[in-house]
Amino acid sequence: MWFVIILVIVLFLVCLGAAAYETLMERRVAAFMQDRLGPNRAGIWGIFQPLCDGGKLFFKEDFIPKNAEKWLFIVAPGILMLIALSTGAVIPWGKSLDISGTSYPVQVANIDVGVLYVMGLVSIGVYGVMLGGWASNNKYALLGAVRASSQMISYELAMGLTLMSVIMMSGTLDLRNMVEQQAGDLYGLSFLNGMKWNVFYQPLAFILFVTCSFAELNRAPFDLAECESELIGGYHTEYGSMKYGSFMFAEYINMFISSAIISTIFFGGYSFPYMNELGWSENIIGILSIIAFTVKIIFCIFCFMWVRWTLPRFRYDQLMHLGWRIMIPLAILNLLITSAWIVFLN
C-alpha cells in the first residue's frame, strides 16, 4: 500500500508539472513554427515562465458573476481537474521495480477493464464543460458549452468504435496486457523485436483515434469550444484567476494523459526493443521502460502542438460532418474488417 501511495503522489506531481511545462513547450514550438524565439526572459531558455504564469493566475481577482449558480460555478472546473488527474491511475507507466526483494508494477491500479475505465471517465468530462457554461448565466458561455459538449459526445462514439477494433485484436481490456502483447516480433521479423506495435496492425484505427483525441481535447483544428472570433471565450468566458487556470490545467493534463494512452495502445507503452532479451536487472529494465515511455509521450505531445500551429480551424458544420459522416462510418468499416480477419485466422 505504501508503494501505491507514493506512486499516487508522484503521479499527481508529474501531471501538474507536465501541464505547467507543456505551456512553455507549446510557446516554444509555436515560436519555432513561426520563426520566433518564444519565452526567453524568465530564467535560462524561459524555464521559469510557467511559474510566472501560474503566479499571475493565483494573484488575479477571483470573482463570481452576480446571477451565476454559485456552487455549480465552483464545482465545474473541479470536475475537469478531478477527471484529468484520475485517468492516469490505470496507465502502466513502467514495467516493474524490485524493492527489498518484492516486485512492484509501476501502475497505481492494474484493473482488468482499464480501457473501459478511461472511456468512462472521459465521458464524464462533458458534465464539467456543460456545467461551466450553464452555471455562468451567460448566453455566450452557454453556446460555447453546447458546442463543446456536442463535439465531445460526437467524437466519443467514433473513439469507442475505434478502440473496439484494437480490443478485438488484443483480446483484452487490460492496458498492461496490451503493452506486453506489443513486446514481440513485428510480423515475425526478429530484428524488429519489441516493435509489435498496434499502429502497424491497425493504422486506420490509429488515425481515427488520434483525430478523435484532438476533438476530445478541444485542440486545434477542433477548438470550436473556444472559437474567439465567434464566442469570445467559450464555456469559461466568466471564469478568472485559478478557476480559469483549472480549466487550462485540465486541458494540458488531458493532453499529457491522452499522449500516454496513445503510446500505450498503439506504440507499445513502456516496452522497447529487446526489453525481455537483455538479461539486465529488474530495476534497470524498469527505469529504462519509464524513460522509453516518457520519450514516446513527449513525441506525441509535440505532434499535438505541431498540428495546432500548422492547420487552420474547421467550421462547426465541417467538424460535425467529419465526425458523423466520415469518422463513424470509417470506424465501423475498420471494425468489420478486423472482425472478418479474426474469423479468417481462427
Please give the average per-residue pLDDT across 212-225, as a whole number. 86
**How large is the average pLDDT for residues 183-189?**
81
Asked if the structure places residue 69 within a domain, the reply is yes
Domain that includes residue 321, residue range: 63-345
Residue 141 in contact with residue 235, Cβ under 8 Å?
yes
The answer, yes or no, to whether residue 229 has pLDDT greater than 70, is no
For residue 142, what is its C-alpha cell? 452557454
Using pLDDT thresholds of 50, 70 and 90, give the confidence band for residue 191.
Answer: confident
Express each pLDDT in 42-58 by its tens digit: 888 889 999 998 889 88
pLDDT digits (tens, 9 = 90+) for 150-163: 999 999 999 999 99
Count the domains in the chain: 1
Is 3 domain-assigned? no
pLDDT score, position 116: 93
- Residue 250 near residue 81, CB atoms below 8 Å: yes
Q: Is residue 33 part of a domain?
A: no
What is the average per-residue pLDDT within 105-110? 91
Q: 300 versus 1: which is more confidently predicted?
A: 300
Give a yes or no: residue 130 inside a domain.
Answer: yes
Model confidence at 231, in pLDDT bands (50, 70, 90)? low
Burial label for 69, CB within 10 Å (0-12, 13-18, 19+), is middle
Does 77 reside within a domain?
yes
Residue 290 is predicted with a pLDDT of 95
User: For the chain, what percent of residues have pLDDT higher than 90?
Assistant: 60
In-domain check, residue 306 = yes
For the chain, the average pLDDT equals 90
Residue 36, in any domain of the structure: no
